[in-house]
Amino acid sequence: MNQRRSSTGYASVDTAIDDLWMAINDSMASSSTTIIGGTTLTTEGGIAVPITNGSGVRLYKGYLVTTGSGIGIVDIAAIGEHYLSGVIYEEIAPYKTGLMVITGFCDVYFNSGGSTLNEYFRINKTGDTGATNGYAESSDRYDNTRTGGQVNETRSGEGIARCLLRR
């Protein structure tokens, strides 16, 4: 099974899988690497996909987003929103394309309540301290539809903390 690509594509499924694992290993050693159709392995250890910002506002690194008005379009997660689609990987201007982390490690933007190691992160609900559209809330309670994953870093106040997104 050591055959390489032929002029028509991969010589074997094993070779394709080997090439994918080499790309994953290379990406962990350097910057993010695009592997298939725009899907990207991030330096933090996440998997990101290309999306379009349909919200009409600038989306910043770590903002939580939900499904927008069409395929591949996302909107900022409003306070009280029930379904988390992913986390913005890098700043995206309105109606422009960028990357959204869909699983794995990523940086999440928290409200003024900060974050607590080993708690869950979720979309803000009405009544949360510093509730703001797009920001996360750290919570010791799992919420089936709003929860994005586990907090891996404690921080005081508003800002970025590393988390494990489980989608």
Condensed to tens digits (0 to 9), the pLDDT of residues 17-34 reads: 666 666 666 655 556 676
Specify the pLDDT at position 31.
62
What's the pLDDT at 59?
97
Contact 158, 111 (CB under 8 A): yes
Residue 129 has a pLDDT of 85
As a CATH number, domain 42-165 is 2.40.300.10
Instruction: Quote the pLDDT of residue 144.
Output: 76
Burial class (CB in 10 A: 0-12, 13-18, 19+), 148: buried
pLDDT score, position 102: 95
Closest CA to 61 of 110, 131, 10, 115: 110
Identify which of 120, 126, 51, 118 has the alpha carbon closest to the alpha carbon of residue 86. 51
Query: In this predicted structure, what is the pLDDT of residue 30?
Result: 54
**pLDDT, the chain, mean:** 86
What is the model's pLDDT at position 36? 73
Give the residue with greater pLDDT, 147 vs 89.
89
Query: Taking Cα atoms as reference points, which of 51, 59, 49 lies closest to residue 94?
Result: 59
* Residues 81, 66 contacting (CB under 8 angstroms): yes
What is the predicted pLDDT for the residue at 146?
80
Do 51 and 57 touch, CB atoms closer than 8 A?
no
Give the residue, 130 or 15, on which the prediction is more confident. 130
- What residues form DSSP beta bridges with 50? 99
DSSP state of 62: T
| pLDDT tens, position by position, 85-126 | 999 999 999 999 999 999 999 999 999 999 999 999 999 998
**DSSP secondary structure, 118-147, as one string:** TSEEEE--TTSTT--TT-EEEESS--TTTE
Domain boundary assignment for the chain: 1-30, 42-165
